[in-house]
């Protein structure tokens, strides 16, 4: 496999060095693997910290900045960051108003963030946590007990981040994050397997004429494997799987997310089919975001995330944001 890297062992460090060069508004600690808003801590503001294995960029480091995260902790590729990273991040951004950990439901992430929360509390930092578990494809998987955390992570980080920037207290920011997660569902589809730098070959076997329905962001198995389907057929399957699990009473936010190797030409075409299915099911759409946001290295495919919202959540979604990967209203 051809990759734009030096050696597999330095992929994450090299990426962080490049991020630091491109984004002087961020303080990037390459050695300790922590990305922080340069203006942190912000007086009186709840700080948001997230993180996870590298390979899902721009999640999470690309979402550090005004309106979203205060800090992010990148682990090795597809490997949880360690508690020391999370503690270092929490200490760097804590202003005394508390820190909210946003954690995707993968076993390593959950255990390490829980340990980091205990260490932070020992140092006098008040910590709350939101667990993201939005994937409806499978109940348990290779990396999780319960549902996986996927595309809804972006919604939680953006909406809770806006609430924190307004000066809302930790308990309220946590409640808003939990509300977003509870109202969000996702479903992903893989057209090709991904390739980790360390392995240098596809992480699983997916024949050229087949796709995997319900794939996870690490290549975990989904619901079933089928012969290649059209964009419209995939949208029918994915949206119906989500709506079988939720019945939106309010308009929804829609995320049509690329898995890393799918071009925008295809993603926008897929979005047209997703919107068609939603209209057929009588689901009103408030806002739509299309692009590669929660990826799986070079995997081709897409995921759909729906989140039903009320007026407050929509206002927080529309609030200004200024990060490397998401920016509007500034």
Domain annotation for the chain: domains and CATH numbers:
10-182 (3.40.50.10440), 184-320 (3.30.1180.20)
Chain segment 26-83, per-residue pLDDT in tens: 999 999 999 999 999 999 999 999 999 999 999 999 999 999 999 999 999 999 999 9
Chain segment 168-192, per-residue pLDDT in tens: 999 999 999 999 999 999 999 999 9
- Are the CB atoms for 250 and 308 separated by under 8 Å? yes
Chain segment 127-170, per-residue pLDDT in tens: 999 999 999 998 776 667 789 999 999 999 999 999 999 999 99
| Residue 134 confidence (pLDDT) | 97
Q: Which residues pair with 189 in a beta bridge?
A: 213, 302
CA distance linking residue 132 with residue 150, whole number of Å: 7
| Residue 205 confidence (pLDDT) | 86
Task: Say yes or no to pLDDT of 115 above 80.
Answer: yes
Average pLDDT of the chain, as a whole number = 96
Give the active site residues: 56, 218
| Range list of β-strands (E), 59-169 | 71-77, 99-104, 127-132
**Nearest in space to 172 (alpha carbons), one of 45, 43, 314, 306:** 45
| Residue 12 confidence (pLDDT) | 98
Token pair 């308990």 is found at 171
User: What b/e sequence results for 283-310 when a residue is b if at least 16 CB atoms lie within 10 Å of its CB, and e otherwise?
Assistant: beebeebbebbbbbbbbbbbbbbbbbbe
| Residue 203 confidence (pLDDT) | 84
Helix, strand, coil fractions of the chain, as percent rounded to 5: 35, 25, 40
The pLDDT confidence band at residue 1, using thresholds 50, 70 and 90, is: confident
Task: Say yes or no to pLDDT of 105 above 70.
Answer: yes
- Are the CB atoms for 50 and 60 separated by under 8 Å? yes
CA distance linking residue 62 with residue 324, whole number of Å: 5
**Nearest in space to 137 (alpha carbons), one of 192, 187, 184:** 187
Give the predicted TM-score (pTM) of the model. Answer: 0.97
- Are the CB atoms for 16 and 74 separated by under 8 Å? yes
CA distance linking residue 189 with residue 224, whole number of Å: 10
| Residue 14 confidence (pLDDT) | 98
Chain segment 237-276, per-residue pLDDT in tens: 999 999 999 999 999 999 999 999 999 999 999 999 999 9
Q: What percent of the chain has pLDDT over 70?
A: 99
The arithmetic mean of pLDDT across residues 288-313, rounded, is: 98
| Residue 220 confidence (pLDDT) | 81
| Residue 222 confidence (pLDDT) | 83
Chain segment 200-238, per-residue pLDDT in tens: 988 888 998 999 999 989 888 788 999 999 999 999 999
| Residue 232 confidence (pLDDT) | 98
């Amino acid at each position: 496999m051809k990759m734009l890297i030096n050696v597999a062992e330095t992929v994450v460090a090299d990426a962080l060095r490049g991020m630091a060069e491109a984004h002087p508004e961020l303080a990037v600690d390459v050695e300790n693997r922590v990305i922080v808003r340069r203006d942190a801590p912000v007086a009186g503001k709840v700080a948001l910290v997230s993180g996870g294995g590298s390979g899902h960029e721009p999640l999470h480091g690309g979402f550090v900045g005004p309106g979203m995260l205060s800090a992010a902790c990148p682990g090795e590729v597809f490997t949880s960051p360690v508690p020391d990273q999370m503690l270092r991040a929490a200490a760097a951004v804590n202003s005394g108003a508390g820190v909210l950990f946003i954690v995707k439901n993968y076993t390593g992430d959950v255990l390490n963030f829980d340990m980091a929360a205990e260490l932070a509390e020992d140092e006098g930092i008040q910590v709350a946590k939101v667990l993201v578990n939005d994937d409806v494809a499978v109940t348990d998987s290779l990396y999780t007990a319960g549902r996986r955390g996927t595309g809804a992570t972006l919604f939680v980080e953006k909406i809770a981040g806006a609430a924190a920037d307004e000066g809302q207290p930790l308990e309220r920011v946590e409640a808003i994050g939990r509300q977003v997660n509870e109202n969000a569902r996702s479903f992903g589809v893989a057209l090709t397997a991904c390739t980790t730098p360390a392995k240098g070959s596809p992480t699983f076997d997916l024949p050229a004429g087949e796709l995997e329905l319900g794939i996870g962001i690490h290549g975990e198995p989904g619901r079933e494997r089928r012969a290649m389907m059209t964009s419209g057929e995939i949208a029918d399957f994915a949206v119906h799987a989500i709506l079988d699990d939720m019945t939106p009473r309010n308009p929804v936010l829609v995320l049509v997310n690329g898995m890393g190797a799918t071009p925008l030409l295809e993603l926008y075409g897929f979005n047209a089919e997703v919107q068609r299915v939603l209209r057929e099911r009588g689901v009103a759409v408030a806002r739509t975001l299309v692009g590669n946001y929660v990826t799986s290295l070079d995997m081709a495919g897409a995921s759909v995330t729906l989140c039903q919202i009320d007026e407050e959540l929509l206002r927080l979604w529309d609030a200004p944001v200024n990060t490397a990967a998401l920016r509007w209203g500034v």
